Amino acid sequence: MAWIASHTIVKPMMIVMQPGAPEEAVEAVRERLAATGVHVVVMPGELTTAIGAIGDPEGVIELGLEGMAGVDRVVPISRPYKLASSELSDHASSFEIGGRTIGGGETFCLIAGPCTVESSAQTLSVAAAVRAGGASMLRGGAFKPRTSPFAFKGLGTAALEILVQAREETGLPIVTELLDASHAEAIEAIADVVQIGARNMQNYALLEVAGRLGKPVLLKRGLSSSLDELLMAADYVLKEGTEEVILCERGIRTFETATRFTLDLGAIPWLKLHTHLPVVVDPSHAAGDRALVEPMSRAAAAVGADGLIVEVHDDPEHARCDGPQSLYSSHFAAFASDVAAHAALLGKRLA
């Protein structure tokens, strides 16, 4: 299935086919809908096929599709988010990134690496350590969103070259942040997964740019964003044509200041009910303190996350960004096997 770019999304209708409805019946409904100009998404499920029709709900109702062969019912999608909604697709989406499966309930993805690419020696050393410890992908920031304009903002395109070298040496797919639309081409050229940072979750123009790059997008929850808002942000990316969006809970602002942010663990099972998209947890930014990262990671695995994105450094005391929350690379293998044991309780193995 493919979602066509720049379509106005109003209130989708979903046409649920009867179990075992023949392919010709599905095709007849798809053609009838497409002829009216609405955007059509066909979603084959294990038992039934659902067909999403986006745009002009009244027009879809008037078609009287219930009378067509193989149609069970026509239902409006009632939630404010549409393409991300589990109403649109009731089976967990999964996709492959460089041979690693994310989502779908059978794998647990460990995305690990430095907050920021600081040098080739640092990045290659951390990459080798996380690879050896069982990581599924390498994270590393090249363009960094910083609260103070005077803080280190990353090495930019030089960092992207280092990440490519790290991928060549380890085989790990690269996750890196798209901070600004002007970097899109450079990020597109090297990233395996395009990260949208918490501060940009509501930068709607940037979400559309990310959705057009043809790469999986890891979308972080805004520090003060509700889960409805997160899923509507995901819709911005999905409507541009990509089907591969990974959601990330990374802690939210609350009255509590003992931890850097408050990890919203309830978000994970809630998201599992309300969206088909994979969900990962970032315990590092939520905690702000490496001593809390492992217990929070175990909890994330236990409540059903599809993976983690975690910061690791070879020399955290001298890190240029987020050292206090970064795991020691020498500890990563032990960390990974501990978390993997918790993911295994839910039947998941490391991707």
**Site track for ligand PEP across 216-245, x = CB under 6 A:** ----x-------------------------
Report if residue 314 touches Mn ion, rule: CB under 5 A.
Answer: no
Q: Are 197 and 206 in contact (CB under 8 A)?
A: no
Residues of this chain, 98-137, that bind ligand PEP according to CB under 6 A = 115
HSE of 242 in the Cβ direction (CA atoms, 13 Å)? 25
CB 250, min distance to ligand PEP, A: 4
154 touches, from Mn ion, ligand PEP, none (C-beta below 5 to 8 Å by class): none
Q: Are 265 and 251 in contact (CB under 8 A)?
A: no
CB 323, min distance to ligand PEP, A: 12
CB 288, min distance to ligand PEP, A: 11
C-alpha–C-alpha distance, residues 351 and 98, integer Å: 11
Backbone angles phi, psi at 110, to 5 degrees: -105, 105
Residues of this chain, 246-275, that bind ligand PEP according to CB under 6 A = 250
CB 113, min distance to ligand PEP, A: 10
Report if residue 322 touches Mn ion, rule: CB under 5 A.
Answer: yes
For ligand PEP, the binding residue among 114, 133, 197, 211 (CB under 6 A) is 197
250 touches, from Mn ion, ligand PEP, none (C-beta below 5 to 8 Å by class): ligand PEP
Report if residue 285 touches ligand PEP, rule: CB under 6 A.
Answer: yes
Report if residue 198 touches ligand PEP, rule: CB under 6 A.
Answer: yes
Report if residue 282 touches Mn ion, rule: CB under 5 A.
Answer: no
Residues of this chain, 1-40, that bind ligand PEP according to CB under 6 A = none
Outline where DSSP puts E strands in 33-117: 39-44, 49-54, 71-76, 94-97, 100-103, 107-113
Q: Are 275 and 88 in contact (CB under 8 A)?
A: no
**Pick 304 or 324: Cβ nearer Mn ion:** 324
Residues ≥6 apart with Cβ < 8 Å to 158: 142
Q: Are 310 and 111 in contact (CB under 8 A)?
A: yes
Report if residue 115 touches Mn ion, rule: CB under 5 A.
Answer: yes
CA geometry: angle 98, 311, 291, nearest 5 deg: 140
C-alpha–C-alpha distance, residues 86 and 73, integer Å: 17
C-alpha–C-alpha distance, residues 248 and 218, integer Å: 7
**Pick 129 or 319: Cβ nearer Mn ion:** 319
Where do contacts with ligand PEP occur on this chain (CB under 6 A)? 115, 141, 145, 197-199, 220, 250, 282, 285
